[in-house]
Amino acid sequence: MKKYIDAFGAIPLATLPRPKPFYKGFTSAAPESLTDRRVSCYAGFSTAEPTQIEVWEKGAPIPGFDPAIWRYDICGWPIRFSDFGNRESKFGWESDHILPESLGGTDGLHNRQPLHWENNAAKGDNYPWVA
């Protein structure tokens, strides 16, 4: 069977094998030691701050792709979780303040959104802003 890689360089979820339970006697409840590890579902990204993941989860999932890796920003541009803060990447993204701090916006999650770095640069301190 050939591996299918799309334009983003990712393998759609439908072609990936189902994960096996990560410990013997798997149930829907995680063991005590895993309940505080908020990033455990993001394999390979354990150094991320929880707020980065919370902002990431506000992006729109791309159908057929792993939402832990790929999402759309509000403008419909694809972004990749591992490219956070990378302005050299075609899929880099930043945590944008919806209402800029210079206009009275806060750092709270309610005022954050994942935004492709090019869209964030174009937005600047404008509010309201239309993608």
Rounded to whole angstroms, the Cα distance separating 74 from 95 reads 12
Tokens of 20: 């096996």
- Give 69-91 pLDDT, tens digit per residue: 999 999 999 999 999 999 999 99
- Give 3-27 pLDDT, tens digit per residue: 455 555 555 555 555 554 444 443 4
- Give 34-79 pLDDT, tens digit per residue: 444 444 444 444 344 458 999 999 999 999 999 999 999 999 999 9
Rounded to whole angstroms, the Cα distance separating 94 from 83 reads 9
List, as own/partner pairs, every contact residues 84-90 make where C-beta atoms lie below 8 angstroms and the sequence separation is at least 24, other chains included: 84/48, 84/52, 84/56, 85/117, 86/117, 87/117, 89/117
- Percentage of residues in the chain with pLDDT exceeding 70? 62
- Looking at residues 118-131, what average pLDDT do you find? 93
All structural domains of the chain with their residue ranges: 48-123
Mean pLDDT of the chain: 77
- Give 94-119 pLDDT, tens digit per residue: 999 999 999 999 888 999 999 999 99
Q: For the whole model, what pTM was predicted?
A: 0.63
